[in-house]
Amino acid sequence: MNHELLLGWWDTAARDLPWRRPECTAWGVLVSEIMLQQTPVARVEPIWHEWLARWPVPSAMAAASQGEVLRMWGKLGYPRRALRLHEAATAIARDHGDVVPSDVETLESLPGIGSYTARAVATFAYGQKCAVVDTNVRRVVARAVHGAGDAGPPSTKRDLRDVEAILPEAQDDAAVFSAALMELGALICTAKNQKCADCPLYTECAWQQAGRPAYAGPAKKVQQFAGTDRQVRGKLLDVLRGAPGPVPKIQLDVVWHDVTQREKCLVSLLDDGLLEQTHDGLFALPGEH
């Protein structure tokens, strides 16, 4: 891997995202990483600004109610992420002096922080040298290194070893390298309509040299959405986000025709702590009654 090509490209092509700015705190980086899990940059950016303005440090967010956090999360999707981030903020404020931990192991012990996010925070917030593996990186490595059309099914240990093998020696370069690899996957080496003509790795890309063969691995599963519990849960929660306070059950009943599925989803939301029932039998966002 020619690091210079990639780092040079980063200098001219990287997007100016707020969580990449030097004044951004580790907390800002952590918030961005959680929001960006399965959610596009364009939808994250405005919400991220609102969050950092309102909760500039973990303890500030820890002091907010869960319901308030869920409202601020809006329609970013997968709202359990918001609840887990609130838990993580609470733990950071209580157990870590309001400072986001810098080591991967401690980060991974926090709710909602898995292997990717822990490494991303250690790398982008603290400049540590460690491999960061996300879907973009897996795709770039699959093509540029292995000459495959796309990454196969994830294999945590193998993926990690692959990326560690191409990480620059110098710690100063490692963080930028990881960011650049991700950025390349996001802007150039995309899943479809990849822009190979603009790729800094064009001349050394194994996929290019192999004649860009089609992906040969097992078909990826497509996530259904219409008619799933996910859709119903989303509709139920949306009622509460749109209401100023607790609502009677009838307001939830109208969002979905299938009683059985609706009730099941209502229970699951209560189980997940995304919803609560008041003493009067009304439904509310957690902590808002």
Partner DNA sequence: CAAACGTGGTC
Partner DNA sequence: TGACCAAGTTT
Task: Point out which residues bind DNA (CB under 7 A).
Answer: 17, 19-20, 32-33, 36-43, 75-80, 84, 111-118, 120, 134-136, 153, 155-156, 182-183, 185-186, 190-193, 220-223, 225, 228-231, 233-235, 237-238, 268
CA atoms of 137 and 127, how far apart (whole Å): 18
147 backbone φψ class: left, alpha, beta (φ>0; ψ -120 to 50): left
List the beta bridge partners of residue 276.
284
Tokens of 61: 């967010």
Which residue, 193 or 260, is less far from DNA as judged by CB?
A: 193
Q: How far is the CB of 215 from DNA (least distance, A)?
A: 9
Q: What does the chain come to in residues?
A: 289
The alpha carbons of the chain give a radius of gyration, in whole angstroms, of 21
Which residue, 38 or 203, is less far from DNA as judged by CB?
A: 38
- 249: closest CA among 260, 236, 238, 258? 236
Q: Answer for the pair 86, 31: CB distance below 8 angstroms, yes or no.
A: no
Say what the alpha-carbon torsion angle 26, 29, 34, 39 is, to the nearest 10 degrees. Answer: 180
Q: How far is the CB of 279 from DNA (least distance, A)?
A: 26
Which residue, 80 or 289, is less far from DNA as judged by CB?
A: 80
- 132: closest CA among 152, 113, 118? 118
User: What is residue 236's three-state secondary structure?
Assistant: helix
105 included as an active-site residue: no
Which residue, 48 or 55, is less far from DNA as judged by CB?
A: 48
Q: How far is the CB of 33 from DNA (least distance, A)?
A: 5
Residue found by looking up tokens 């997968």 in the block: 78
User: What is residue 276's three-state secondary structure?
Assistant: strand
Pairing mode, if any, of strands 283-284 and 276-277? antiparallel
Q: Answer for the pair 1, 166: CB distance below 8 angstroms, yes or no.
A: yes
User: What is residue 62's three-state secondary structure?
Assistant: helix
Which residue, 119 or 129, is less far from DNA as judged by CB?
A: 119
Which one is catalytic: 33, 68, 183, 288?
A: 33
Which residue, 220 or 249, is less far from DNA as judged by CB?
A: 220
CA atoms of 181 and 178, how far apart (whole Å): 5
Q: How far is the CB of 61 from DNA (least distance, A)?
A: 17
Q: How far is the CB of 17 from DNA (least distance, A)?
A: 5
Q: How far is the CB of 216 from DNA (least distance, A)?
A: 14
Residue numbers annotated as active site: 33
